[in-house]
Structures are given as structure tokens and as C-alpha cells.
Amino acid sequence: MRIQFPQRISWPELPQALRSTIESRLGSNVVEATRQIGGFSPGSADLVQLQDGRVVFVKAVDAEVNDFAAQLHAKEANIAAKLPETLPAPKLLSHVQCQGWQALVFAEAPGNRPALPWNPDELLAVLDSVADLNSSVPESLVRGLPRLEDELRDDFAGFSRIIDDDFVPNDPWIAQHLQELHQLAEPAALLLAGEELVHADLRADNILVGNDGDIYLVDWPWAARGAAWYDALTLLIEARLHEPLLDVQSIVDSHRIFASVTSTELVSALAGLTGFYLDAARRPPVPSLPTLRSYHAQQAVACTSWLKELLEN
């Protein structure tokens, strides 16, 4: 199963005034741009070669096309500027606002996106990186972030909305256990409370694996304060999406990032995510994000299969 990402615009399609402002900030002209794939933003994402030899990453979005995405870029700029250099994340070089556009310029993070389906060694390396993430994060940064439980409370009420709307999911197992799943999902957000830095949108297209094996986490607009194992959980759900027979539970049982997680917490978080994706998948398409609902539907399938295994075994 493969996630379909929308076709992005590229550097030459950005307004001339925006390109000129970015080049001025960088002190060098762009001589070549390579469009990057991945993500659901309607904006651009390019690795650009500068005349002075540097390579930087530029992404930009037009508020007129998608104001929410533009707000996310602005939010990410604020967060990225505060991330410590010790964190495995590319450095923000500039935040440019021009004619309704929001553009972010980052130092190049050397590496490539993980292979899908996931290579087991790469998957474990990313989980190790997530487990080590908070060893170099200042408390002041984490304290200034929104609480993960607040960010997820509405998302995790998906089963409640499905029940209130008398909506019957296509999956007969889900349809048969709606009330039970709703009850399991109810405490999920609170169970993810914590004082750790959480990326909160961790998937393969937000990860780079360097040739030396170093891991870089990119795209931080959803950063929050909560339980770090949430990032590991969402990563395993994506791995399960691309490899339905992957024994994700054995990874949970053996990896240190999940050492303090109880089976009750795991089931509740999975139920919350399942409800979110099922509820989101039935919503009308978003014109500027044409593949988003398909992604939600695929994530719902991956969550459901894992949740069903946990509840029936």
C-alpha cells in the first residue's frame, strides 16, 4: 500500500518578489532547484543550489490557496527558531513573508527519506532517535509548547462524532464495537500527557536517514509537550500501513521507548487514533489537499488491524 502525495509546485513557480527576497536573505542567487516529494502541503518544497555553493531547503505556501497551511508555516518558523542545535533537526536560516506567502529556509539535512516498506534497521534507528530526543532539549523549550493532550482531545473524539451522526463504518468489526471503542478512546488524550518534546507528526516523509546512519527529523509545526512514545506509536502505525503483516507489537514489547507504557494506555491511544482517522476519512475532500482523505482511510485500516489484534488476543 502506498500513500499518494499531491504534486507540489516548485521554485520557478513562486512569485518573483518572493524568490528575490529569499535570495537577498541568503546573500546568493539560486542556480538550480530540485522539487521534493512527500507531505500534504499545497506549497513548494525544493532543495536549491546557491551560486556560492551552498545547498538549502526552501518551502513556501500561499495563504490564498490554503490559509491553514500558511499559518502552519508561520507556526513552524517560531518553533524551529527555538530548537537547539543538538537536536537532530535542520537549522532554520530564514522565515520570509511576502505578498501573502510564507516561506521557510532551512540548512540542508544530508540524507534520504526511509525506504518504504520500512527497512527494519532504519525503523529501529528512528525509534532509538526518538527515545534519545529529550536528552538534549531544554526545559524552557518544552514548557513553551502546547500540551499534547489539548492538541489531541478533539481529534480523539472521532468515535463520539461517528456515533452522534449515526454513521455506520464500512468495517463490520468497527460497526459492531462502536460504543466499546468510544469508551476506550475517551481517556486517550489525557494518557498522553507528559513533559517531553513530541514531534506529533512523525512519518517517513518527515524523516531523513543520512549515509552515516544519522537520523534527522523535519517539519515541526505540530511540536507539543507530552509523552514521547506517541511519536513512536504513530511511526509504527505508518510502518504497519506499508507492511500489513509487520509484527509491530513485538517492537512495542522490546523497545525502550515503550518501556513505561501499559497495555491499557496503548489500546486507548490506538482507539483514539482509529476514531480520528475513520472520522476524518468520511469528511468531504479538501480541494487544496486532494490525497488527504485517502491517507486518512489508509491510516484507519492500519490502526484498526492492530487494535483488533490487541483486543481479540
Mean of pLDDT values over 262-286: 97
Give the separation between CA 48 and CA 230, rounded to whole angstroms: 33
Angle at which helix 263-281 crosses helix 178-185, to 10 degrees, equals: 120
pLDDT class for 43, splitting at 50, 70, 90? Answer: confident
Is 252:267 a contact under the CB 8 Å cutoff? no
pLDDT of 5 reads 46
List pLDDT tens digits, range 56-83: 999 999 999 889 899 999 999 999 999 9
pLDDT of 291 reads 84
Model confidence at 21: pLDDT above 80: yes
Mean of pLDDT values over 155-181: 97
Percentage of the chain exceeding pLDDT 70: 97
User: Between the CA atoms of 92, 33, 19 and 203, what dihedral angle is there, to the nearest 10 degrees?
Assistant: -40
pLDDT of 136 reads 83
- Cβ neighbours for 217, distance < 8 A, ≥ 6 positions apart: 87, 88, 89, 129, 133, 199, 202, 206, 207
pLDDT of 224 reads 97
pLDDT of 80 reads 95
Mean of pLDDT values over 133-162: 95
More confident position, 103 or 2: 103
pLDDT class for 313, splitting at 50, 70, 90? Answer: confident
pLDDT class for 154, splitting at 50, 70, 90? Answer: very high
Mean of pLDDT values over 301-313: 94
pLDDT of 42 reads 74
Give the separation between CA 287 and CA 283, rounded to whole angstroms: 12
Q: How does 116-137 read in b/e, with b if 16+ C-beta sit within 10 Å?
A: bbbeeebbebbbebbbebbeeb
pLDDT class for 260, splitting at 50, 70, 90? Answer: very high
Phi then psi dihedrals of residue 230, to 5 deg: -60, -40
Give the separation between CA 310 and CA 313, rounded to whole angstroms: 6
Q: Where are the domains of the chain?
A: 11-107, 120-312
Mean of pLDDT values over 164-178: 96
Q: Around Cβ 115, how many Cβ atoms within 10 Å?
A: 11
pLDDT class for 36, splitting at 50, 70, 90? Answer: confident
Mean of pLDDT values over 75-97: 95
pLDDT of 99 reads 93
pLDDT of 74 reads 96
Q: How does 143-170 read in b/e, with b if 16+ C-beta sit within 10 Å?
A: eebebbbebbeebbbbbbbbeeeeeebe
- Mean pLDDT, the chain, rounded, equals 93
Phi then psi dihedrals of residue 11, to 5 deg: -50, -45
Phi-psi region of 38 (alpha: psi -120 to 50; beta: other; left: phi over 0): left
pLDDT class for 212, splitting at 50, 70, 90? Answer: confident
Is 171:304 a contact under the CB 8 Å cutoff? yes
CATH number of the domain located at residue range(s) 11-107 in this protein: 3.30.200.20
pLDDT of 39 reads 67
Model confidence at 55: pLDDT above 70: yes
Short-list 124, 125, 78, CA closest to 102 = 78
CATH number of the domain located at residue range(s) 120-312 in this protein: 3.90.1200.10
User: What residues are paired with 215 via a beta bridge?
Assistant: 209
Is 120-312 the same fold as 11-107?
no
480520528: which residue's cell? Answer: 276
List pLDDT tens digits, range 225-240: 999 999 999 999 999 9
pLDDT class for 8, splitting at 50, 70, 90? Answer: confident
